[in-house]
Structure 1
Amino acid sequence: MTHRPHRTAPRFGVNYTPSQGWFHHWLDFDLDDVRADLDSVAALGLDHVRVFPLWPLFQPNRTLIRPRAVEQLGLLVDAAGERGLDVAVDGLQGHLSSFDFLPAWTRTWHRRNLFTDPEVLDGQSAYLRTLAAALADRPNFLGMTVGNEINQFSGDPHPDPDRISPDEAAAWLRRMLDACEEGAPGRFHLHAEYDAAWYQDDHPFTPAQAARIGGATAVHSWVFNGTAQRHGPDSVAVAQHAAYLIELSKAWATDPRRPVWLQEVGAPAPHIAPDRAAGFTRTTVAAALDCPDLWGITWWCSHDVDRSLADFPELEYSLGLLTTDRRVKPAGRALADAVAEARATAPAPAPRGTALVLDLPEEAPKRSSCAPGGAYFEAFMRLAADGARPAVVLAARAADPAYLAARGITELVTLDDLGTAGGTAGSGSGTGAAPR
């Protein structure tokens, strides 16, 4: 059974990256450090955090889920609640900031498909059920996300993928979400993919899965995917990329009012230079808040990565709203100001009356037209640059008056109308950007 959050004003939060030891902090868990980090997050006026237990540390053997690790997760959730912060928990990490974290019982001598092997599925289900059940009675526990961008393990450009079909991906998602629901009935459980699901031809995780399975649709917006490189840091396309993904996701939803969670967005250097990060934060938040049915915005990330830690891509070190010694950076101040202003004055966004028709089948095997440089992406950004507030509607729904009315759509525009139907296509493999 899918549970949806109550519709309220948008939530504002941050992906919690511990200031001491990054996610390796689970190896040397220090509750005082966690409390100090959460104090610095709460001081920004945010209302929730998304947190990341490392799967191989919590479940080092298929039949061993470490009680002490689960207890420490509970302590973190309780510490957040003491500071007025709700907590969403990602389960299968999986993949974070260019590093893979998979338990030994899935790799090398024990190599088996993460998405289809019966024993792996049993282990994953037990793990997600255990985490959810341990937190189910805590009032500030929002729910589980199955994992962070775990779709990256299913195909290119991963160097050693566990290949699956779209049907197998859908079956895996449903089983994992069922496990979350069994552990914590009625909470806000969902899944989240990196943008290959929206942009990459033939990727097994599809837009329809993202927009129909789970309690909300999650989108992760990263302008290093070709948007900033093609259009420049001060472009409409960069400012509107997160809003574009929010609106693009709605096209595949069967529920015209399905909530969308902008679960990751950040200002990656050098694509967004440090002196532009605050401006990027303001414009991105404003654009996202102009999208109806937005559940919330969760910025990536809370604290910078300490430069004593080796081998991260350069952009990962400086994505924090705060430094490793918990000082607020310009982007952090910009987000805090935007949140305060939105709570004080921002009205609910009006419906987006003009929709750009997307002529793709609902299963969308070929979707690179929607990627940066693709004909559809560029047409949407042209409309936005001209001052429009475009929505997205599939061609199959464009003749459904009840559906259009439910979304407040009164005008349809096609690529032919804009003279771009034969425009630049995507590469056929999406953006080519690595997941995070």
Structure 2
Amino acid sequence: MRFGVNYTPSDGWFHHWLDFDLDSVRADLDSIAALGLDHIRVFPLWPYFQPNRTRIRPRAVDQLCLLVDAAAERGLDVNVDGLQGHLSSFDFLPAWTRTWHRRNLFTDPDVLDGQAAYLRTLAAALADRPNFLGMTLGNEVNQFSAGPHPDPDRATEDEIDRWLTRMLAACEEGAPGRLHLHAEYDATWYQDDQPFTPAQAARRGAVTAVHSWVFNGTAQRHGRTSVPSEHHAAYLVELSKAWADDPHRPVWLQEVGAPAPLVPPEHAAAFTEATVAGALDCPDLWGITWWCSHDVSRELADFPELEYGLGLLTNDRKPKETARVLERAAQEPPRTPAPRTTALIVPADPSTRSLCAPGGAVFDAYFRLVADGVRPTTVLDVRAADQDHLCARGITEVVAPDQVLPSPQGGTRS
């Protein structure tokens, strides 16, 4: 079981790559390591590292290696996101993909060649570092593939599948045998027209990654202390398992945070504690990586208000109570959760994913079960009668959403 944090530099946010200061990075990493965490996820900004399709800046790659080495000195493993991509409401795409050079990120042959070369180069540069976990293709790159993005690079499910296959192969070529994966925001699980699908998330790459944010309608609809809000991360972990072919495929809760004002700062620690406890009750959880390490500085303009306070640590590297919650969780002796024996049926058809979203029948039924003290997981409708599959996962009872009826306690099976 791994506990870590998404590294947001205290000085300059991710623009620190333009003025890279290794001493500042080391001080940030000291403040992270002091919490007893064991890994970080880091974000090279793609246009800073590959400003031209055939130019990957050697100095930028060297600086990434210096950061990874500094992390190793502090006992921290490192996962590296490649195609940034999208971070904290800002898009970072190289000029050779936009405006006068507008080309589709997922289908244009020249763009694919450039992306593969970039990912392979980063992976190869780090392949001999023992603390290099592997590559994530990019941060929530699915947001570029459909609405509500204002200028999407539309692609079909098959085209996305070919893109994922090629980019993961490039990472493997650069650093064989490492933990290479892809990660999307929850539209993959909730949005009917997303070309990035749950099956791809649960079957491509070394682990399944989920990103849990209750500003997706969960907290607005149910409130910050509700069962759905406090167990949303666990829900995504268990929802992802419906599509996995491997009955014990690891799931990485790669992003989760306490976003204000839906979770006010004075309640962030309690929300963190409940979220972590719920996730730790999920079998086959690879780890929890909190968003994020340090607050965004108020000197930087135009961020959504919530981004300025999401850090476990302040800009001057002082730990908040949320940091203490994660610190305590990391110090607890590891335990193996019991199997989740009740499975809620989920439709395999990706065009009905909205049933799993806040307000959908699957979502509501799942949390009625949780409110009644059940520890549910999920199973696809096409596997609901497959006894070998159910046995491999420890499932002894299968229920449909319409069998989970409202009750004063939450939900009971009819």
Structure-1-length-normalised TM-score: 0.92
| Contact 1:166-1:206 within 8 A present in 2 as well | yes
The one of the two structures with greater contact order (alpha-carbon pairs below 8 A, sep at least 6) is 1
C-alpha distance after superposition, 1:15-56 (max 9, x if no partner) = 000000000000000000000000000000000000000000
C-alpha distance after superposition, 1:128-185 (max 9, x if no partner) = 0000000000000000000000010001000000110000011101100000000000
Q: How does 1:291-302 map to 2 (within 5 A)?
A: 291-302=282-293
- The partner residue of 2:383 within 397, 407, 427 is 397
The CA distance in 1 between the partners of 2:22 and 2:207, in whole Å, is 31
Q: Secondary structure at the match of 1:146?
A: strand
Q: Secondary structure at the match of 1:144?
A: strand
Matched, 1:207 2:198: yes
Matched, 1:409 2:381: no
Matched, 1:304 2:295: yes
Query: CA shift at 1:419, angstroms?
Result: 4.1
Q: Secondary structure at the match of 1:367?
A: helix
Which residue is 1:228 aligned to? 219
The CA distance in 2 between the partners of 1:373 and 1:177, in whole Å, is 34
Which residue is 1:357 aligned to? 345
Q: How does 1:113-132 map to 2 (within 5 A)?
A: 113-132=104-123
Q: Secondary structure at the match of 1:218?
A: strand
Structure-2-length-normalised TM-score: 0.97
The CA distance in 1 between the partners of 2:401 and 2:131, in whole Å, is 45
C-alpha distance after superposition, 1:181-232 (max 9, x if no partner) = 0000000000000000000012100000000000010000000000000000
Q: Secondary structure at the match of 1:357?
A: strand
Runs of 4+ with deviation above 2 angstroms? none
| Contact 1:202-1:366 within 8 A present in 2 as well | no
Which residue is 1:368 aligned to? 354
Which residue is 1:51 aligned to? 42
| Contact 2:77-2:131 within 8 A present in 1 as well | yes
Instruction: Give the counterpart letter for 1:119 in structure 2.
Output: D
The CA distance in 2 between the partners of 1:357 and 1:368, in whole Å, is 14
- The partner residue of 2:281 within 290, 299, 307 is 290
C-alpha distance after superposition, 1:319-348 (max 9, x if no partner) = 00000000001111111112212xx2x420
Q: Secondary structure at the match of 1:366?
A: helix
| Contact 1:266-1:319 within 8 A present in 2 as well | yes
The CA distance in 2 between the partners of 1:325 and 1:110, in whole Å, is 41
C-alpha distance after superposition, 1:289-312 (max 9, x if no partner) = 100000000000000000110000
Query: CA shift at 1:416, angstroms?
Result: 2.6
Q: Secondary structure at the match of 1:286?
A: helix
- The partner residue of 2:186 within 183, 191, 195 is 195
The CA distance in 2 between the partners of 1:210 and 1:108, in whole Å, is 30
Instruction: Give the counterpart letter for 2:302 in structure 1.
Output: D
- The partner residue of 2:336 within 348, 356, 364 is 348
Which residue is 2:330 aligned to? 339
C-alpha distance after superposition, 1:214-266 (max 9, x if no partner) = 00100000000000000001111111000000000000001111000000000
The CA distance in 2 between the partners of 1:286 and 1:338, in whole Å, is 9
Which residue is 2:254 aligned to? 263
Q: Secondary structure at the match of 1:123?
A: helix
Which residue is 2:174 aligned to? 183
Q: How does 1:96-115 map to 2 (within 5 A)?
A: 96-115=87-106
The CA distance in 1 between the partners of 2:248 and 2:42, in whole Å, is 27
Matched, 1:162 2:153: yes
The CA distance in 2 between the partners of 1:310 and 1:219, in whole Å, is 29
Q: Secondary structure at the match of 2:351?
A: coil
Which residue is 2:12 aligned to? 21
Q: Which runs of 5+ in 1 are unaligned?
A: 1-9, 421-436
Identity across matched positions, percent: 76
| Superposition RMSD in Å | 0.8
- The partner residue of 2:372 within 386, 392, 397 is 386
Equivalent residues, number: 406
The CA distance in 2 between the partners of 1:227 and 1:89, in whole Å, is 29
C-alpha distance after superposition, 1:411-434 (max 9, x if no partner) = 1111232248xxxxxxxxxxxxxx
